[in-house]
Amino acid sequence: MTHRYKREVVRSYAKRWWDGRNPAYLSFSDDCTNFISQCIFAGGIKKEYTSNVESGFWYRGNGNKTDTWSFSWTMSHSLRWYLASESGQKIATRVKTAKEMKIGDVISMDWDGDGAWHHTAVVVGFDKEGEPLVAAHSRNSYNRLWNYKTSPAWTPKTAYIFWHILDELPE
């Protein structure tokens, strides 16, 4: 059994919270992946609770100090590997170019090309050339060009992974 990924809900959630914090979740100084996890959860990605912070995709709590979460919910590197995983719920596939992405898809970024993934953003629109525009936290942004070349973190070695979230998701 499956359900549809709600891309417009992802965009609406990102637009509502890109420059603020949803009080139902803790906020982190490096909040990009926490924000993207909230966006894709709003769009229909199910939480996969394992009670182990190193597996699954989950957040438990309501914005208090006692909340718990998986690494994949809050860490770019862990979310990248969760999206690639063949175990658990299969929710994404890699596409080769940014122009293949749709609203609600996710981009993983490795600033120095060393294989450690540092940032995550979600597609919320497209410019007149069809290039994806993204939303993200840490340096809050909405409708920012996907490649982040204006970011002080960007380097010529920056690597990207383009994740297409499946339109039909497992229950």
Alpha-carbon gap, residue 121 to 130, rounded angstroms? 17
Reported as a single tens digit per residue, the pLDDT across 63-115 is 999 999 999 999 999 999 999 987 667 899 999 999 999 999 999 999 999 99
- Which H or E run contains 160? strand 159-165
Alpha-carbon gap, residue 138 to 120, rounded angstroms? 10
pLDDT of residue 1: 83
pLDDT of residue 43: 98
Reported as a single tens digit per residue, the pLDDT across 31-59 is 999 999 999 999 999 999 999 999 999 99
- Which H or E run contains 126? strand 119-126
3-state secondary structure of 94: strand
At residue 154, does pLDDT exceed 80? yes
Section 155-170 average pLDDT: 96
**Taking CA 102 as the corner, what is the angle to CA 118 and CA 38, rounded to the nearest 5 degrees?**
50
Range in 57-71, 74-88, 125-139, 141-155 the model is least confident about: 74-88
Task: Classify domain 2-170 by CATH number.
Answer: 3.90.1720.10
Q: What's this model's pTM, rounded to 2 decimal places?
A: 0.96
On the 0-12 / 13-18 / 19+ scale of CB atoms within 10 A, 28 is: middle
- Which H or E run contains 161? strand 159-165
